[in-house]
Amino acid sequence: MKVTRILVGPLGTNCYVLQDEESGQAAVIDPGENPDKIITYLEKSGLQPDYILNTHGHFDHIGGNRRIKDEYPAAELCIGSADAPALQEDDISGASSFGQKIDSPEPDRLLNEGDQLQVGSITLDVLETPGHSPGSISLVAHNDTETTIFCGDLVFAGGVGRTDLPGGDVEALGRSIKEKILAFPDDTVIKPGHGEDTTVGREKNRNPFISQLNL
């Protein structure tokens, strides 16, 4: 399992390219902006993504959808069911609040709890993890040797996602972290939507915001 982080947009969003090196299959997770930068990496690596995956519908995670989809029309654009309206509504995506405008295609597939996607030998399990947005999802990528969680803006290294945007819910955020993320072994790697990688154990023991959520 190879994961490449590509920093995109003015908010420093982490776009990830997940690759199964044996098969050459790949997925693009959260192409927020700078799609040409993402496409350049895919071309240099000889990759044709099977999926374009949005962990949630905020503008800084979906802004490159159309350009990536136009370049790779066979790639399925996927998002959590409850966040699908954000792909078409600037008020819901938060774009209008930042003077932005989003032009995303309609999703090819809506994702719900328990869905699975396959990228070569890598299985992606879909977890519904609302709180930052109503339809936020986390993607648990695993193969025979490792497990990695792509959690969008649910939890960061030393922080948690904001809940003051449309559809945010601090109680739901707390439940999502406790019931879905902290249930994994402490050494499980977390790849958040912004900032550096962390682990379940590190956030469980050191994240001051998690302790304040009364988990």
Question: Mean pLDDT for the chain?
Answer: 94
Q: Say if CB 2 and CB 26 are below 8 A apart.
A: no
Residue 171: is its pLDDT beyond 90?
A: yes
Q: What percentage of residues in the chain have a pLDDT greater than 90?
A: 85
* pLDDT (0 to 100) of residue 180: 97
* pLDDT (0 to 100) of residue 181: 97
Residue 42: is its pLDDT beyond 70?
A: yes
Q: Between 128 and 92, where is the model more confident?
A: 128
Across the range 143-170, mean pLDDT stands at 94
* pLDDT (0 to 100) of residue 190: 98
How far apart, in whole angstroms, are the C-alpha atoms of residue 182 and residue 88? 33
CA atoms within 13 A on the CB side of 53: 32
Domain range enclosing 58: 2-212
pTM given for the model: 0.95
CATH value at residue 55: 3.60.15.10
Residue 29: is its pLDDT beyond 90?
A: yes
* pLDDT (0 to 100) of residue 165: 86
The tokens describing 128, both together, are 């519904």
Name residues whose C-beta falls within 8 Å of residue 143's C-beta, 6 or more positions apart in sequence.
1, 20, 121, 122, 123
* pLDDT (0 to 100) of residue 103: 85
* pLDDT (0 to 100) of residue 14: 98
Tally of domains in the chain: 1
The tokens describing 206, both together, are 């050191």
pLDDT tens readout for residues 94-146: 666 677 778 899 999 999 999 999 999 999 999 999 999 999 999 999 999 99
b/e string for 37-63 if b means 16 or more Cβ within 10 A? ebbeebeeeebebbbbbbbbbbbbbbb
Long-range contact pairs involving 96-101 (C-beta distance under 8 Å, separation at least 24): 97/165, 98/59, 100/59, 100/63
How far apart, in whole angstroms, are the C-alpha atoms of residue 167 and residue 94? 10
Return the minimum-mean-pLDDT range out of 67-71, 88-92, 202-206: 88-92
Residue 215: is its pLDDT beyond 60?
A: no
How far apart, in whole angstroms, are the C-alpha atoms of residue 104 and residue 122? 27
What is the separation of C-alpha 15 from the centre of its chain, rounded to a whole number of angstroms?
Answer: 8
pLDDT tens readout for residues 48-87: 999 999 999 999 999 999 999 999 999 999 999 999 998 8
